[in-house]
Structure 1
Amino acid sequence: MAAQQPPATPPVTRSIGRALLWPAAAVGLGFLLVFNSLNPSGQVKPPAAAAAASVAPAPAGPTSAAPSASPALLLPRSVPKRILIPEIDVDAPFTQLSIGKSGALDAPPENDSNLAGWFKGGVTPGERGTAIVAGHVDTKTGPAVFLELSSLKPGSTVDIARADGSVATFKVDSVETFEKKNFPNERVYADTASPQLRVLTCGGSYDKKNGYTDNVVVFAHLDKVKRAGA
């Protein structure tokens, strides 16, 4: 499984501090790489902080802008508990992902093929900003939770059940595949004025030496909210 790599220091996730620091961290350091589960040694380490400012992001391809969320849809911070994507039979719990000793994002455990990861240093799904979810496409034992992620289409929905009892439903804007060597960090990870979601896994071709060549990224925006007790 695969994804781009977060900064060595997680971005501030609340109020003005987050709004100011998240874009700089995401764009400057080339933010999250979900690692290929069958070749974890193939990880890419983030550039040194001193050099980060000079790293230009990969050019962004054309994409339709995500609709702005109504203020009534904005949710407070609450940890995601489960992801459901009925169209591809995904119904999986979350584990929290953090940055390991190597300075890279730890991947979800490989001994559970039905498990999604959420980067706990970022926003929670439904908050203003870009929430990051990642999972394996396969493991050593076979297919995994996001095996069919690339088959989603614009208009598909992703439900995130949260600890506060609410369910945030995100509508897919696009599903795109990027070469890891040309990953568009700014486009994928930059902060946003509305609640958005990015779901990442591996794609492209695979070999034992280098792992997967690509990352599959689902771009989605918050479409509706079912609040606890509703």
Structure 2
Amino acid sequence: MPRTPQFLRRTALPVHACLALTALIALTGCSDTSPSTSSAATGTTESAATAGTPAPGPGTASAPASGSSSSSTSSKSASPPVHVSIPSLGINSAVMRLGLNPDRSVEVPPADKGMTVGWYTGGSVPGQPGPAVLIGHNDTRYGRAVFHDLKKITKGADIAVRDDRGAEIHFKVTGRETASKKAFPTARVYGHTEDRALRLITCDGSFDAAGHPVDNLIVYAERE
């Protein structure tokens, strides 16, 4: 099973840089952590599922147990996303693919692609059953990034994802929450669901002593 890194690594970015949360596991600042499923979501209907467990080594954790992810054979054969837009926020971005690093941690968009959203290919394809995960920066050392204004999104807002065949799939925002990286709702975000769900994730909140944001912003949406 793939492993996912901490959201931020002390050596990866300067003090005020902010990377998006990586897929499949609760993440905290720059330290090792166990995932938590105790936080309560606002405006979401996803049920809890088995969360991942901590893995050896700093900044890594194992993926959820088999069956807790909703990616399916049909999802793997579906058309991948190439563009995402959020009209109410003026967001228009190409979508890059995020896979695994050599250490089997999930990739995040590089800092010099701060205005590009990433899709984790190990999860569901947007529009297919299960949670599809789009990861975006809030800020990087280059300045404001693609999800800088994501905190302004409102319930009912439209999110449009275009696939590589030109088909556009629309999702409606059902809720959002800010979660501490020490109590990230892993199961709620990445757990099994038959809904055609979309999650947008970035960083949020105040900075800790090391200059890293202490929270993550999670937006929940479902296909219309």
TM-based fold match above 0.5: yes
1:66-215 to 2 correspondences below 5 Å: 77-207=78-208, 209-215=210-216
CA–CA distance in structure 2, aligned partners of residues 45 and 8 of structure 1: 17
- Contact 2:2/2:106 (CA < 8 Å) preserved in 1? no
Alpha-carbon distance in structure 2 between the residues aligned to 1:216 and 1:95: 20
**Residue type of the partner of 1:8?**
P
SS in 1 for 2:111: coil
Identical aligned residues as a percent: 29
Runs of 4+ aligned residues of structure 1 deviating over 6 Å after TM superposition are none
CA deviation after TM superposition for structure 1 residue 102, in Å: 3.7
Instruction: Say if 2:2 is the partner of 1:8.
Output: yes
Cα 1:219–1:166 shift into 2, 3 Å? same
Please give the TM-score of this superposition, normalised by the length of structure 1: 0.70
1:63 partner letter: G
Within a 5 Å distance, the mapping from 1:25-104 to structure 2 comes to: 34-35=7-8, 38=17, 43=30, 57-61=37-41, 63-65=43-45, 77-104=78-105
CA contact (8 A) 1:46 1:104 kept: no
CA–CA distance in structure 2, aligned partners of residues 32 and 171 of structure 1 = 29
What is the TM-score of this pair, normalised by structure 2? Answer: 0.72
In structure 2, relative to structure 1, the CA distance for the partners of 1:167 and 1:44 (3 Å cut) is farther
* Count of residues paired in the alignment: 181
Q: Supply the distance in 2 between the matched residues of 1:77 and 1:107 (Cα, whole angstroms).
A: 22
Q: Which one has a larger percent helix, Structure 1 or Structure 2?
A: 1
Q: Deviations over 1:105-148 (max 9, x none)?
A: 22101112310000001111001111000110011011000000
For 1:96, give the aligned amino acid. Answer: R
Q: Which runs of 5+ in 1 are unaligned?
A: 1-6, 10-30, 48-54, 67-73, 224-230
Which blocks of at least 5 consecutive residues in structure 2 are unaligned? 20-28, 47-73
Q: Distance in 2 between matches of 1:181 and 1:46?
A: 7
CA-to-partner distance for each residue in 1:29-84, whole Å, 9 max, x for gaps? xx6864475277x545576xxxxxxx763243453437xxxxxxx98611100010
Superposed CA RMSD: 2.6
In the TM superposition, residue 210 of structure 1 has moved relative to its aligned partner by 4.6
Contact 1:34 1:134 in 2 (8 A): no
2:36–2:184 CA contact under 8 A, matched in 1 = no
